[in-house]
C-alpha cells in the first residue's frame, strides 16, 4: 500500500474512459475506510492470538523470567487430570444447555408463528428479555434459587418431602444449575432466529396442510422442522462455540468464588482453568497452552459446521 | 463479592492495554495512586491521612478482594500502569518477594530506620533474598473463636468468654463441644471444617508447608497431617453447617444463626458485622483452641515504576508508625504489627460492642504471644487450597475420608509439579 510505488493505472484503450485514471487518493480511499477494522483486529485480535502461541512455548512468569521449554506445557497438559476434567465439564455443560435450549426454542418459535396468536409482537419481544439481563444478575438469582439451605427449589422439594439437594456441590447438579442459566439466557435469542426463518415459509403451506387433514404435530414435524434445518445447524454450531468458552456462569456459581469451581473442580470449565493457571497461579505459559487447545477445539467445531452446511446445500 | 471479580477483570484488561508508564521518578510528592482491596476499610486510613496532610491528594482504588488485587498488580507489573502504593495480603506476598526487581527497595527510602518497630517474624516475610525490603506490614490477624452467646445458652453451654475458652483447650475438645451442642440442639455448631478447624490448626505449628531451609515438607510434616486429620474428624462429626467461607449460603446461614461459632481473626470481625448486622450483641469472642496463632495480615509496597514513590513512602511512614497503627486500630480494629503499642491502654482497653464488649485489645495480641512463626512460600496458597478442598469434599460432597489425604497430596503434586 505504499503511496510512492502505486502506478497511475493506464486507461483502457477502448472505449475511452471518461476520466484518465483515478487519482491516487481515491484509489486508496476504500482501504482507508476499511482500515479501522483491520488495524483494531491486528492489535486486539491477531497479535494476542499469535502471542498466545508464542507464550505457550515458555515457562512464563509475568513478573519474572521467561524460559523457553518447547512443547513441555502441552505434554504436561495432556497428562493433567485437571485438564481432562475441565474438558468433560465443558462438554457436559454444553450438552445440558444446548439440547433443552434448542428444543424449547423450536417449540416456542412454532407457537409464536401461529397465525391466530393475539398480541404476537408482545410475546415475540418478551422472549428476548432474558437475553438482555446481565449475566451476573442471572447467576446471582440462580445461585439463590438452587441454594441447598435457603433456595426456593429446595423449599419446594421440601414441601413434597424430598431431602434438600446440594446442587452446587455435586458434579451433575452444578452442571444443571449452569446449564439452566445458559438455557434461560439464550433460548429467546434462538427462538427469534427460528421465528425469522419460519416467517419465510408461506402461510398457504400450513393452510393447505391443515385442509389436507394434518394435525398440529404433523405440521410441526413435516413443515416447521424441515424449514428450519439450516438455522438449526447454525444455532447448534454457534452454541457449541459459545459453550466451549463458558466462563462467567461457572465462576459466579462457584462456592466461595473460587477459580476451581468447587472442592473437586466439579464445575471448572476450560476457560476457568485457563484463567486459574494464568491469573491464579501466574503460570502464563501453561494457561496459554490451554488457550491453544481450546482454539483447536473451536476450529474442529467450525470444520464440522462447514461439512454439515455444505451437505445441506447438496440436499436441496 | 462475586461482582468484584468482573470489576477486577475489567481493571486487568485496562491495565494490560495501557502502555508502560515510564520509569519511576520523584513525582510531585503531592499526590499518589493507591490500590487496596475491599473489606478492610482502607478508606478510613486514607481519611485519617488527609487530615494530617491536607495538601496531598490520594487516589484510592479498591480493586477487588485480596487475591484479585494481587492479580491486578501482577498484570500491571507485567507491563501496565502501576499504582504508586499497593496493599498486598500476606498470603500473596511470597510470589512478589521472589521477584523483588519489580519493587522499590524500601531501604533506599529509609526503611532500615523503622524496621525494628515491627514484629520480627512479620517483617521478615517481606525481605527478599538479597536483603531488599519489599513491604511494610500494616496489620496481623491474631486468632480467636467467635461464638453466639444466645445459641450457646440455649444448648446449655456456658456463655462467658472465660468458661467458653476453657471448654476447648485443644481441637479435640473443640470438636467434642461441637458434638454436645449438636446433640442438644440438632443444629450445626460451626460454619465448616476446612477453615474453622483445619486452617486454624495448621497455622499453629512452628513449620507448615516449608521447613526453615524453604524446602517443601507439606506431605511429610506430621503437624500438617494431624491438622488435616482434625479437619476430617470435624467434617465427619456432623457438627458443621457445610457452608464454605464467604459463599452466598455462608452469609445467609450467619444471619439466621444456622451455626454458633466460627474462627475469627481480627479482620473477620468486620465481615461478621457487615454480613449479619442484626445479630449485634449476640456474639462474643473466646480464645482459640491451642491459644495462639495468626491468620492473615497485609503489607504496603511501592512498585518500581511508581511515579510518586516519595509521596507513597510518606503515607507508609505516617500511617504505619506505631502511633498511626494504634489510631487505626482504635477506629477499625485491625491489629497493629508494632508490638510497642501492645501495652498501650488505648489498645488493651479496646472493647468491641458488637461482640458483647469482648476485649479485642487483649484477646488478639495474646494470641500472637505464643506464636512460633513459620516460612510462607510461593506455593503455600495453592497447597493450602488443595488441602481445604479435600476436606470440603469429604464434608460437603461425600468424598471418601480414607483417601482424602492421599488425594490432596496427589492434587498438590499436580498443581505445583513438586
For B77, the closest of A63, A149, A257 (CB atoms) is A63
**What's the gap in Å between the CA of A34 and the closest CA on chain B?**
23
ipTM: 0.81
Tell whether A33 is covered by a domain: no
pLDDT of residue A253: 84
Residue with cell 508494632: B338
Assigned architecture for domain B2-139+296-338: 3-Layer(aba) Sandwich (3.40)
Range of the domain at A235: 80-312
For chain A, list residues whose CB is within 8 angstroms of any CB belonging to chain B.
61-64, 76, 80-82, 136, 139-140, 143-144, 147-150, 166, 169-170, 248, 251-252, 255-258, 260, 262-264, 266, 279-282
**What's the gap in Å between the CA of B396 and the closest CA on chain A?**
7
**What's the gap in Å between the CA of A64 and the closest CA on chain B?**
6
The candidate with the shortest Cα–Cα distance to B146, out of B238, B275, B44, B235, is: B275
- Asked if A264's CB is within 8 angstroms of B397's CB, the reply is yes
Chain A: residue whose CA lies nearest to B99: A64
Q: Name chain B contacts of A262, Cβ cutoff 8 Å.
A: 389, 397
What are the counts of helices (DSSP H) followed by strands (DSSP E) for chain B?
20, 8
Render each residue's pLDDT in chain B as its tens digit; 418 residues: 344 444 444 444 444 433 333 344 456 778 999 999 987 778 888 998 999 999 999 999 999 888 889 999 999 998 889 999 999 999 899 999 999 999 999 999 999 999 999 999 899 999 998 999 999 999 998 899 999 999 999 999 999 999 999 999 999 999 999 999 999 999 999 999 999 999 999 999 889 999 989 899 999 999 999 999 999 999 999 999 999 888 878 888 999 999 999 999 988 888 899 889 999 999 999 999 988 888 888 999 999 999 999 999 999 999 999 999 999 888 877 899 999 999 999 999 999 999 999 999 999 998 887 787 888 888 998 999 999 999 999 998 889 999 999 999 999 999 998 8
Residue B59 to residue B61: CA distance in whole angstroms: 7
Enter the DSSP assignment of B283.
E
Enter the DSSP assignment of A221.
I
Tell whether A146 is covered by a domain: yes
Mutation test of the interface with chain A: which of B248, B256, B380, B383, choosing the one with the most A Cβ atoms within 10 A? B248
pLDDT of residue B384: 93
pLDDT of residue B184: 95
pLDDT of residue B344: 94
Chain A: residue whose CA lies nearest to B3: A136
Tell whether A237 is covered by a domain: yes
User: How do B145-148 and B261-263 pair as beta strands?
Assistant: antiparallel
Mutation test of the interface with chain B: which of A47, A63, A174, A181, choosing the one with the most B Cβ atoms within 10 A? A63
Residue A280 to residue B289: CA distance in whole angstroms: 32
Q: CB distance from B247 to chain A under 8 Å?
A: yes
Tell whether A220 is covered by a domain: yes
CA distances from A114 to A222, A262, B294 (A): 15, 45, 68
Chain B: residue whose CA lies nearest to A252: B2
Tell whether A24 is covered by a domain: no
pLDDT of A224-246, one tens digit each? 888 888 898 888 888 888 899 99
Residue B83 to residue B158: CA distance in whole angstroms: 50
Q: What is the CATH number of the domain that holds A109?
A: 1.10.3720.10
Tell whether A191 is covered by a domain: yes
For B71, the closest of A76, A256, A279 (CB atoms) is A279
Q: CB distance from B393 to chain A under 8 Å?
A: yes
CATH number of B143-293+353-416: 3.40.190.10
Tell whether A5 is covered by a domain: no
Number of domains in chain A: 1
Strand residue runs (E) in B5-164: 31-36, 57-62, 85-89, 135-140, 145-148
Q: Where in chain B is the domain with CATH 3.40.190.10?
A: 2-139+296-338, 143-293+353-416
CB pairs under 8 A between A and B: 94
Listed as own residue / partner, the contacts of A127-134 with beta carbons closer than 8 Å and 24 or more positions apart are A127/A187, A127/A188, A127/A191, A127/A192, A128/A188, A128/A189, A128/A192, A129/A188, A130/A184, A130/A185, A130/A186, A130/A187, A130/A188, A131/A185, A131/A186, A131/A188, A131/A189, A133/A185
Amino acid at each position: 500500500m505504499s503511496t510512492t510505488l502505486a502506478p497511475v493505472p493506464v486507461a483502457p484503450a477502448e472505449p475511452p474512459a471518461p476520466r484518465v485514471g483515478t487519482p491516487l487518493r481515491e484509489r486508496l480511499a476504500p482501504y482507508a475506510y476499511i482500515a479501522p477494522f483491520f488495524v483494531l483486529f491486528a492489535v486486539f485480535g491477531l497479535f494476542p492470538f499469535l502471542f498466545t502461541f508464542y507464550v505457550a512455548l515458555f515457562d512464563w512468569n509475568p513478573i519474572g523470567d521467561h524460559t523457553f521449554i518447547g512443547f513441555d506445557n502441552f505434554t504436561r497438559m495432556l497428562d493433567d487430570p485437571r485438564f481432562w476434567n475441565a474438558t468433560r465439564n465443558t462438554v457436559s455443560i454444553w450438552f445440558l444447555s444446548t439440547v433443552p435450549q434448542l428444543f424449547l426454542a423450536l417449540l416456542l418459535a412454532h407457537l409464536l408463528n401461529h397465525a391466530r396468536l393475539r398480541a404476537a409482537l408482545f410475546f415475540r419481544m418478551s422472549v428476548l428479555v432474558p437475553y438482555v439481563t446481565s449475566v451476573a444478575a442471572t447467576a446471582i438469582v440462580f445461585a439463590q434459587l438452587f441454594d441447598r439451605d435457603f433456595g426456593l427449589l429446595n423449599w419446594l422439594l421440601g414441601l413434597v418431602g424430598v431431602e434438600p439437594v446440594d446442587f452446587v456441590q455435586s458434579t451433575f447438579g452444578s452442571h444443571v444449575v449452569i446449564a439452566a442459566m445458559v438455557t434461560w439466557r439464550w433460548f429467546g435469542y434462538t427462538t427469534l432466529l427460528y421465528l425469522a426463518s419460519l416467517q419465510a415459509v408461506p402461510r398457504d403451506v400450513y393452510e393447505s396442510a391443515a385442509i389436507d387433514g394434518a394435525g398440529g404435530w404433523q405440521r410441526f414435524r413435516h413443515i416447521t422442522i424441515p424449514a428450519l434445518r439450516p438455522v438449526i445447524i447454525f444455532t447448534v454450531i454457534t452454541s457449541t462455540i459459545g459453550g466451549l468458552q463458558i466462563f462467567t456462569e461457572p465462576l459466579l456459581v462457584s462456592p466461595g468464588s473460587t477459580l476451581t469451581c468447587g472442592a473437586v473442580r466439579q464445575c471448572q470449565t476450560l476457560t476457568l482453568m485457563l484463567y486459574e493457571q494464568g491469573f491464579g497461579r501466574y503460570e502464563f505459559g501453561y494457561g496459554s497452552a490451554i488457550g491453544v487447545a481450546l482454539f483447536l477445539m473451536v476450529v474442529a467445531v467450525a470444520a464440522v459446521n462447514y461439512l454439515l452446511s455444505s451437505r445441506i446445500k447438496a440436499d436441496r | 463479592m462475586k461482582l468484584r471479580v468482573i470489576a477486577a477483570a475489567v481493571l486487568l484488561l485496562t491495565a494490560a492495554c495501557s502502555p508502560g508508564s515510564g520509569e519511576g521518578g520523584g513525582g510531585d510528592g503531592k499526590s499518589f495512586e493507591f490500590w487496596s482491596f475491599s473489606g478492610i476499610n482502607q478508606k478510613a486510613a486514607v481519611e485519617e491521612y488527609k487530615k494530617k496532610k491536607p495538601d496531598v491528594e490520594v487516589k484510592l482504588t479498591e480493586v477487588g478482594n485480596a487475591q484479585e488485587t494481587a492479580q491486578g498488580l501482577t498484570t500491571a507489573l507485567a507491563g501496565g500502569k502501576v499504582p504508586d502504593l499497593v496493599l498486598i495480603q500476606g498470603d500473596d506476598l511470597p510470589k512478589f518477594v521472589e521477584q523483588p526487581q519489580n519493587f522499590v527497595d524500601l531501604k533506599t527510602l529509609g526503611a532500615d530506620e523503622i524496621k525494628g518497630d515491627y514484629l520480627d517474624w512479620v517483617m521478615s516475610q517481606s525481605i527478599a533474598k538479597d536483603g531488599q525490603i519489599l513491604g511494610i506490614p500494616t496489620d496481623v490477624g491474631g486468632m480467636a473463636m467467635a461464638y453466639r452467646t444466645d445459641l450457646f445458652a440455649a444448648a446449655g453451654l456456658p456463655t462467658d468468654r472465660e468458661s467458653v475458652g476453657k471448654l476447648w483447650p485443644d481441637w479435640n475438645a473443640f470438636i467434642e463441644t461441637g458434638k454436645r451442642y449438636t446433640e442438644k440442639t440438632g443444629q450445626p455448631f460451626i460454619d465448616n471444617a476446612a477453615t474453622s478447624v483445619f486452617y486454624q490448626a495448621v497455622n499453629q505449628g512452628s513449620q507448615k508447608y516449608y521447613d526453615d531451609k524453604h524446602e517443601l515438607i507439606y506431605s511429610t510434616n506430621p503437624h500438617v497431617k494431624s491438622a488435616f486429620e482434625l479437619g476430617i474428624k470435624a467434617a465427619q462429626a456432623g457438627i458443621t453447617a457445610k457452608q464454605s467461607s464467604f459463599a452466598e449460603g455462608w452469609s445467609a446461614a450467619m444471619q439466621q444463626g444456622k451455626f454458633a461459632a466460627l474462627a475469627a481473626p481480627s479482620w473477620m470481625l468486620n465481615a461478621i458485622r457487615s454480613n449479619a448486622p442484626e445479630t449485634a450483641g449476640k456474639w462474643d469472642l473466646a480464645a482459640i483452641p491451642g491459644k495462639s496463632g495468626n491468620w492473615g495480615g497485609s503489607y504496603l509496597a511501592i512498585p518500581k515504576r511508581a511515579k510518586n514513590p516519595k509521596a507513597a513512602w510518606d503515607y507508609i511512614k505516617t500511617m504505619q508508625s506505631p502511633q498511626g497503627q494504634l489510631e487505626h486500630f482504635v477506629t477499625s480494629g485491625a491489629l497493629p504489627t508494632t508490638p510497642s503499642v501492645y501495652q498501650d491502654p488505648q489498645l488493651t482497653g479496646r472493647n468491641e460492642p458488637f461482640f458483647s464488649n469482648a476485649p479485642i485489645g487483649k484477646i488478639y495480641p495474646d494470641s500472637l504471644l505464643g506464636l512460633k512463626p513459620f516460612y510462607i512460600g510461593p506455593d503455600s496458597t495453592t497447597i493450602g487450597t488443595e488441602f481445604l478442598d479435600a476436606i470440603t469434599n469429604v464434608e460437603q460432597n461425600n468424598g471418601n475420608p480414607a483417601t482424602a489425604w492421599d488425594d490432596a497430596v496427589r492434587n498438590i503434586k499436580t498443581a505445583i509439579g513438586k
